[in-house]
Amino acid sequence: MKRIGIDVGGTNTDAVLIDGEKVVSAIKFPTTADVMQGVVNAIGHVVASQAPGASPIDAVMIGTTHFTNAVVERARLERIAAIRIAMPAGASLPPMIDWPDDLRESVDPLSFMVHGGHEYDGRPLVPLARDEIRDAAMKIRDAGITSVGITALFSPLTAECELEAAEIVRSIIPDARITLSHTLGRIGLLERENVTLLNAALQGLGRKTIDAFKDALNQAGVNAPFYLTQNDGTVVLADVAAANPVYSFASGPTNSMRGAAFLTGLKEAMVIDVGGTTSDVGCLVGGFPREANNVVEVGGVRTLFRMPDLLPMALGGGTIIDPETRKIGPRSVGYRITEKALVFGGDTLTTTDVAVAAGLVEIGDRDRVKHLDKAMVADLLKRIEAMVEDGVDRMKTSAEGVSLIAVGGGAFLIPERLKGASEVLRVEHAGVANALGAAMAQVSGEIDQVFSGMSRDNAIAEADRLARQRAVDAGADPKSVVTLDTEDIPIAYLPGDARRVRVRVVGDIAFMKASQKQAS
Amino acid sequence: MIRDFEASEIDPLAVGAWILGTGGGGSPYLAQLNLRKLYKEGKRVKLLDPLALDDGDAVAVVSKMGAPLVGQERLVDPAHLARAMQLMEEYTGRKFRAVMSVEIGGGNALSPFLAAAMLDIPVVDADAMGRAYPEAQMTSFAIGDLPMYPLTLVDCRDNEAIVAKAASWKWMERISRKICTEVGSTSATCKAPRTGKEVKEWGVLHTVTKAVSLGRAVLDARAAHTDPIEAVLAHEGGKVLFKGKVADVDRTTTGGFLRGAAQIEGLDDDRGSKVELAFQNEWAVAFRDGQPIAMTPDLICLLDTVSGEAIGTETVRYGQRVTVVALPAPAVLTSPKGLEHVGPRAFGYDLDFKSVFAA
């Protein structure tokens, strides 16, 4: 099975080609102003590295920060309409109440709160107000808005209201692109609605981006299904991703950690991913990044996304050092390292210069850092070591020494021996761990809903079955699906032994046989 | 005596209240959003020192009641809390001078503020627990054997109920809980009105101020990159009991409550040791390697080791890095009569109360 993994970052576009477990080729290109040209170049390079007559590529996995960046930059978002079906509940907190003002303005929303929705036990809160939805749809149509987010009370348990509202909207706006909250979110109306509306605002960009990737693949002569990596190290089919850009928000660090797991074969370890400006320290648990404890904000919006638990540190290859005080960072020369750093003829002392002077790595012109005082270089290395040790210590969950895998373009900054680490692992291709992580991503399925009127065991079994079904629907090979995480919370005060069950499963991608591909 | 409650105090109040919630009481986030919005609309709340109450003043005691999970969907609405108070005024024929919280722990710390902003009456700087507890008979007013009725309960669909009388605090709990469950397990309630004299004698005083300054200490520590947990301990005279990682959470619903235990495996100095945190909505007893090391009414708080943020009994989960701390309880709860209501036996543990802070 041959896969291409691509990671489109702000500084570099990385690509790798793997065949089974073997890395065939890898390349790092600076990200170009025309992002897609960089993608075409990167794919072209890894494809061309194959022997003539090689078998075709089975799949392409792309990790991108496109969608997160759009939210963070308040750019490329489209005008949206929000329909919330929960009245008379929640009237005091209208949609987007907790969005930053500038983000809300950039999507210029039309918001409607209509009567309907359900209770936790499946009873209607009040009858669904179809006429209110019709009125809203006509106003949305008259405003020329085509991207609509619909959120109904307790829809993760009962999606009826959302589905019916979508039909009404579609009957009035046939070309509407509608996001339904129950397909994206968990219990927690405000956070689920936030995600739904972010998703609505990214509809146009989602489609455009996927189409551009498709073109890039065609230009590079690759005809294979392609996937986008998600926040949790798994992937979804590109066409699913186009409809749900929010699934693909965070991928860089996640992919790096998954790549580190792949390169070392370790399932439990710590990973430090050293970039140009920052490093991320994270933990692998069962081969996946450990999730964060707390609510995750994207571009200032509160969501219930699963995101990796990462400790960002202001330490990268371009981090600026003050030679007077010997203070390291937090500022960095970033992508301008090739003009600013001493080894490239610049006038700014960076961590890379120190590493070159100490003989840790060969970058640029070593003679340009010959003059650096040996004692200072040694002292700075000590300081870097202390920073890394502190970061590792803060993320560690056991006092025993753990294996630390160093990846990323600046991995040379990580010392050979560290307090708290039993070993520091460096691996070939560490610089493109993110693209590797993308290449080996899996698909997941998740269920998070309230079950009542059945035993705990039955509820968990049922949730597991539904999660597996979701994973298979998303492209997983049913035989490879394993349960990754299961959690159940009986609900205080609720009758009928009600419990909220959350199950997450992952599986390998079921690649269609060539014959099936032609048939579809 | 009476002062403006500043907009800048809203967030610290929420942070402090969530810590004092001892695992229960629900996250204050939605109430926080509501209060910020009311302030943005120009509404203001005044904070009244309970010692400035006249003996004959009528004081409302308001709270959200129900399942935290339902609260996450059916977002709290200030209008309903205000309506519960008005309904009580209509029923009793008496005007309220001020409003107070039944529990300073969790989201209910902000409930009186939401009602007060709507009705333009002051909030009393006091509550009836100094923390959070699950049931009506676990208040300082119940410990003081004060009258437990009437109670009003309001739902978003114009369902309004009045419990005119109850035979005991426990009966009031049972009857009102039944109504609450029927309207979808979330409602706004106004508990038995209190007189100024009762508040001064039996309230837990100045807890709003305390929650705000606790929250501020945590937020300042975060901003300065110092240890927020140290800030909590210094502020409250608390003790660290244990540091570790959540290894397992076992929850069961019995008798309409969330009961169970979180297992925490020790890290750092506590390695090789295990703590079990037993809970009934709130953390009730902490056992270290089988031996009780802290118990209600001492406040047992589970905090995120890095941020100092409180973790609730419904949100605690596998893998979280946590610090268990104990904070001293208000004197009314540790009195012999108080222990009958909220000591370990009130939660079904056959233990004599032994405070973490006993000399």
Q: Which of A90, A456, A491 sits opposite B74 (nearest CB)?
A: A90
Residue B79 Cα, gap to closest chain A Cα (Å): 8
Chain-centre distance of CA B158, in angstroms? 27
Cβ contact B37–A490 (<8 Å): no
Residue A342 Cα, gap to closest chain B Cα (Å): 32
Residue A86, chain B, CB below 8 Å: the answer is yes
Q: Which single residue is written with the structure tokens 């020192």? A: B49
Cβ contact B253–A291 (<8 Å): no
- E strands, A153-298, are 177-180, 226-229, 235-237, 269-274, 279-285, 288-289, 296-298
Buried b or exposed e, range B283-316, using 16+ CB within 10 angstroms: bbbbbbeeebbbbbbbbbbbbbbbebbbbbbbbb
Asked if residue B147 has a cis previous peptide bond (ω within 30° of 0), the answer is no
pTM for this structure?
Answer: 0.84
Of A505, A446, A514, give the one whose Cα is nearest residue A478. A505
All residues of chain B having their beta carbon less than 8 Å from the beta carbon of residue A88 are: 156-157
Cβ contact B267–A398 (<8 Å): yes
Tens place of pLDDT per residue across chain A (520 aa): 789 999 887 667 889 999 877 889 999 877 666 777 888 888 888 988 888 778 888 889 998 877 877 887 788 899 999 999 999 999 999 999 999 999 999 999 999 999 999 987 778 999 999 999 999 999 999 999 999 999 999 988 788 999 999 999 999 999 999 999 988 877 789 999 999 999 999 999 999 989 988 998 988 888 888 889 887 778 888 888 888 888 887 677 788 888 999 889 898 999 999 987 778 899 898 788 887 766 677 778 888 776 788 887 888 888 999 999 999 988 888 778 888 999 999 999 999 999 999 999 999 999 999 999 999 999 999 999 999 998 888 787 666 788 999 998 889 999 999 988 999 999 888 888 989 989 888 888 888 888 888 888 899 899 999 999 998 987 788 988 988 777 776 655 456 777 878 888 888 877 643 333 333 3
CB A293 within 8 A of CB B321: yes
Q: Could you give phi then psi for residue A250, rounded to 5 degrees?
A: -110, 120
In angstroms, the CA B272 to CA A125 distance is 50
Sheet with A147-152, strands from edge to edge, namely A110-115, A80-87, A147-152, A177-180
All residues of chain B having their beta carbon less than 8 Å from the beta carbon of residue A485 are: 318
Total number of residues shown for chain A: 520
Chain-centre distance of CA A305, in angstroms? 10
CB B153 within 8 A of CB B189: yes
Residue B61 Cα, gap to closest chain A Cα (Å): 21
Cβ contact B253–A91 (<8 Å): no
Q: Is A180 exposed, middle or buried (0-12, 13-18, 19+ CB in 10 A)?
A: buried
Contacts of A319 (CB under 8 A, 6+ apart): A277, A328, A329, A330, A331, A332, A350, A351
In angstroms, the CA B145 to CA B140 distance is 9
For testing the chain A interface, which of B73, B111, B245, B282 should be mutated: the one with the most A CBs within 10 Å?
A: B73
Residue B268, chain A, CB below 8 Å: the answer is yes
Locate the chain A residue with the closest alpha carbon to B176.
A493
Q: Which of A399, A456, A492 sits opposite B67 (nearest CB)?
A: A492
Residue B339 Cα, gap to closest chain A Cα (Å): 24
Cβ contact B251–A489 (<8 Å): yes
All residues of chain B having their beta carbon less than 8 Å from the beta carbon of residue A188 are: 72-73
Contacts of A92 (CB under 8 A, 6+ apart): B34, B37, B75, B76, B77, B78, B79
All residues of chain B having their beta carbon less than 8 Å from the beta carbon of residue A98 are: 33
Of A53, A8, A9, A45, give the one whose Cα is nearest residue A24. A45
pLDDT of residue A520: 31
